[in-house]
Amino acid sequence: MLISKLHKISLLDQKPRFESEHGSIQSITADSLPVLKNLSIERVVLKPNAIRSPRWLVNANEMGFVLKGKALVSILGTSNNFNAFTLTQGEMFHVKNGALHHIENAADDDLELLIAYRHERPVDFGLANSFAAFTPAVIGNTYDHDMRDWKSLIPKDTMGPKEIVKRQGPLKIPEHAHWPNPNKFNNAGMQPPVNWPNIGSARTARSQFWPALEDMAMYNLLVLEDGMREPHWHPLTGEMGYVEEGDARMTVMDPDGSLDTFTLQKGDVYFIPASFPHHIECVKPDHIQFLIFFDQPMPQDVAFRTGAELIGADVLASSLGVPLKALPAKFPVATADPLIVARKNPVDP
């Protein structure tokens, strides 16, 4: 196995930053993967009847993907904008920076979420923690209560309450929670905008299809064993990927000319800074599935395949320092990036 200490880390191997009988949270930020910029990631598991406590982000928008189970997401934004909706496997949610929100497990099995943040070190406030900042009189005034009603209810300190708690009482799903919602997106159910038979596809959650997105996007990338994500780079856009299925190989080139070639397996997270050239290919068994997050709502790329079309064989030969006649006789006509190409050669040893 090829191991990278620069661009890759395992999310599944991270010690939970929170863990109880009601669930766990594993995180990767720039503290654990220093190359991260503008993005970070969490894996959240909620047991039945568990709640990810109400909170709001200080410095980042949030995008989540349901890996397993059923969730009820509730959001309160500015202008008294209330949202509540359910999600199942393959569906996504988006929460704006500063919006109060919480997530409930809405089924009898575990709920597993992958959550990306638009900051390498996201910071939040918990609602319960914030109660500790104010006196019983202030809280009482807020809710038209006598201060004595709150004297024994306010947390003792601002870091006391837990991030995952057990629900008190039955789950209440509003009737409108099953309706379409601008903060909800069915990624798994969309027709893939990129779909090449026998080599792979990409379901793209970006602002073109999900207008709620302001500064993030996510590609659900499937590459079969006969396909390859060709060498490319993303101008102005960082890329953070999570391996959901399969084993893959990736090569990244740094500006100093150094190469980082490594293998990826389920639960691994990688990060590619903006404009760094890289590629992805399946190693085993017969496909790979990546959930790839970007720090732009409409990520773009420049690809080697279309690059050859632009510069021509003579310029390519000159750049490589080889005779023109040494190049293959014919290059494919490529005026648009196919994203995934057919793999005609065996995997490198």
One-letter amino acid for residue 135 of the chain: T
pLDDT(347) > 90: no
Q: What is the dihedral of CA 294, 223, 185, 117, to 10 degrees?
A: -30
pLDDT(1) > 60: no
pLDDT digits (tens, 9 = 90+) for 298-310: 999 999 999 888 8
Tell me if the pTM is above 0.75.
Answer: yes
Cβ-based neighbours of 82, under 8 Å, separated by 6 or more: 74, 75, 76
146 and 233 together in one domain: no
pLDDT(250) > 80: yes
Q: In which domain, by residue range, is 319 found?
A: 187-342
106 inside domain: yes
> Which CATH number characterizes residue 61's domain?
2.60.120.10
1 inside domain: no
The rounded distance, in Å, linking the Cα atoms of 102 and 105 is 10
198 and 67 together in one domain: no
pLDDT at position 156, please?
79
pLDDT(5) > 70: no
Per-residue pLDDT, averaged over 249-256, amounts to: 93
**Closest by Cα among 167, 155, 165, 124 to 27:** 124
The string of DSSP letters for 228-293 reads: EEEEEE-TT--EEEEEEEEEEEEEEE-TTS-EEEEEE-TTEEEEE-TT--EEEEEEEEEEEEEEEE
The rounded distance, in Å, linking the Cα atoms of 63 and 171 is 24
pLDDT at position 198, please?
92
- Structural domain count of the chain: 2
pLDDT at position 301, please?
93
The rounded distance, in Å, linking the Cα atoms of 207 and 4 is 32
Q: 260: left (phi > 0), else alpha (psi -120 to 50), else beta?
A: beta
